[in-house]
Amino acid sequence: MTDKFDWAGQAGDSWAAEWRRTDRSFGMLTERLLRRSREHDFNKVLDIGCGAGEISLAIARSRNHAKVVGVDISPRLIETARERGINHPNASFELADASQWMPEEGFAPDFLVSRHGVMFFEDPVAAFAHLSSIAAPGAALLFSCFRDLSANSFFTEIGKLLPRQEKAGDPKAPGPFAFADRQHVENILLQGGWHDISFESFDFGMIAGAGSDPIEDAVGYYTTIGPAARMMPMLADEERESFLDDLRGLLEQHCHDGIVLLRAAAWIVSARNGQ
């Protein structure tokens, strides 16, 4: 599974190169997060694990009075976000670990948001306690995270095809599914100084392929990002070809109206700063 150090290196580089397809795959979730963000009044925004900047820039466009700061540990993702945000003076991006990041004087975020960027903290209680300490009193927190792996066919269907499986570790260790357990997440937030915690179960389709050849588009996506991409260099030539044949067959089953789409399941979590 991907961890903090992967994001600072190869994983972050891959996501930066593939930001168009990754933004596309999360499109339905992004729209839901933005819709939920409209429930709040705010002027200072912190985007935690901002990636290539989609959430930050969408908020900056819709609220030009707000100052938006995106923080990520991947140099390449921050570089990409800055390039995308060159025409948005109210959005800026900083290379930093959000669990230790210190804002400039006078910037106490009153809205903290993250699209799947909070599951990689080495010490999540300390991370959310730090975020609480730098946020404005009563600040709103809104983030998404994957629910249980078994509910996310976007990953499980591909994983079944791999000739070698990744070793299962601690399900609560930093990684994509570290926040799958609702009670675990609630305990982290309460210990970190957040209250009024609520969970929305959100199921959505992740688009893996589209365009003139959606199957090959999806093959390119899966072999660049995720468990298949990590496994590919370890496979012998015959194993690799067999896997790619099986992958194309699976993707054809999920291709409808020129779009390859598999299901995903997330929590959308909201809370208030108790400091």
CATH at residue 128: 3.40.50.150
Tell me the pLDDT band of 57, cut-offs 50, 70 and 90.
very high
Does 202 fall in a domain?
yes
pLDDT at 268 over 70: yes
Does 234 fall in a domain?
no
Query: What does the pLDDT look like over 150-159, one tens digit per residue?
Result: 999 988 898 8
Of 117, 151, 159, 179, residue with least CA distance to 264: 151
User: Has this prediction a pTM greater than 0.85?
Assistant: yes
Q: Which structural domain, as residue segments, surrounds residue 84?
A: 4-149+167-207+265-273
- Give yes or no for a contact between 112 and 139, defined as CB atoms under 8 angstroms apart: yes
Does 9 fall in a domain?
yes
pLDDT at 21: 93
Q: Report the largest interatomic distance among the alpha carbons of the chain, rounded to a whole angstrom.
A: 59
β-bridge mates for residue 143, sequence order: 114, 269
Q: Mean of the pLDDT values across residues 22-32?
A: 96
Q: Mean of the pLDDT values across residues 161-168?
A: 71
Provide the number of structural domains found in the chain: 1
Does 130 fall in a domain?
yes
Residue 50 DSSP label: -
Does 143 fall in a domain?
yes
pLDDT at 1: 47
Does 63 fall in a domain?
yes
Does 253 fall in a domain?
no
CA dist., res. 46 & res. 28, Å (int):
21
CA dist., res. 76 & res. 86, Å (int):
16
Does 29 fall in a domain?
yes
- Mean pLDDT for the chain? 92
Q: Mean of the pLDDT values across residues 18-28?
A: 95
Q: Which residues of 102-130 are buried (b: 16+ CB within 10 A; e: fewer)?
A: eeeeeeebbbbbbbbbbbbbeebeebbbb
